[in-house]
A and B are shown apart, each in its own frame.
Chain A
């Protein structure tokens, strides 16, 4: 299994540009989520999904959109990038529900995004 994969690893954008961060997992996990990591602020939840066709907002959703058309993929879209979105973005996935509440979240390697 490849686990959780993210592309690209690095990206530089200009203010106002749009882009999509890709995330895929091959573990048949129902739950997928996006976090951003900023110095001194830990990992903050942006959006999450408990299955195909179902998404919900996390702690810091403004400026980001998500969709979940398949179990495997969970892309994160920045419609109009701002310097405040400069961060490292992590995608994570886990089993949900039927296997119990204590399900390990597996993280991808991250995407480092700089908005100029």
Chain B
């Protein structure tokens, strides 16, 4: 089955700086890669996703990149703000299979 590794497990950055979280996956058939943000006491919420036919996708301060050859994908947050502090999860899945395999999460702390 699919295995998703996520690094780092914790990340602290100064407000205004950039943050990068990296994930690798094992199943070459995976073709959909969402990122979820989980705030304290809440369920995860989708913030951005990327499909295997795209190398990069941006949404304001958030971007995701995908390297299918290396089976890597990354989340980039620029101009970080205090409200970006949360736990972030990457995930992977392939066509026809609704099951998501999640990474172990990254706790991001923005230092004012």
List chain A positions with a Cβ less than 8 A from chain B.
4, 31, 33, 35, 40-45, 48, 50, 58-59, 90, 92, 94, 96, 101-105, 107-110
Q: Output the nearest chain A residue to B45 by Cβ-Cβ distance.
A: A107
Among A43, A58, A107, max chain B CB count under 10 A is at A43
CB distance from A45 to the nearest CB of B (A): 6
List chain B positions with a Cβ less than 8 A from chain A.
1, 6, 9, 31-32, 34, 36, 41-46, 49, 51, 89, 93-105
- Among B9, B43, B44, B51, point to the contact of A102 (Cβ < 8 A): B51
A31-B51 Cα distance, complex, nearest whole Å: 20
Taking a contact as CB atoms under 8 Å apart, the answer to whether A104 and B104 are in contact is no
Taking a contact as CB atoms under 8 Å apart, the answer to whether B105 and A42 are in contact is yes
Known contacts: A42-B105, A102-B49. The answer to whether A107 contacts B43 by CB under 8 A is yes
CB distance from A96 to the nearest CB of B (A): 6
Chain B's interface: helix, strand, loop or mixed, by majority? loop
- Among A41, A48, A90, point to the contact of B99 (Cβ < 8 A): A48
List the B side residues contacting A59 at CB < 8 Å. Answer: 1
A64-B93 Cα distance, complex, nearest whole Å: 24
Q: Output the nearest chain B residue to A32 by Cβ-Cβ distance.
A: B98
Known contacts: A96-B98, A101-B32, A104-B34. The answer to whether A90 contacts B104 by CB under 8 A is no
Taking a contact as CB atoms under 8 Å apart, the answer to whether B104 and A40 are in contact is yes
CB distance from A38 to the nearest CB of B (A): 10
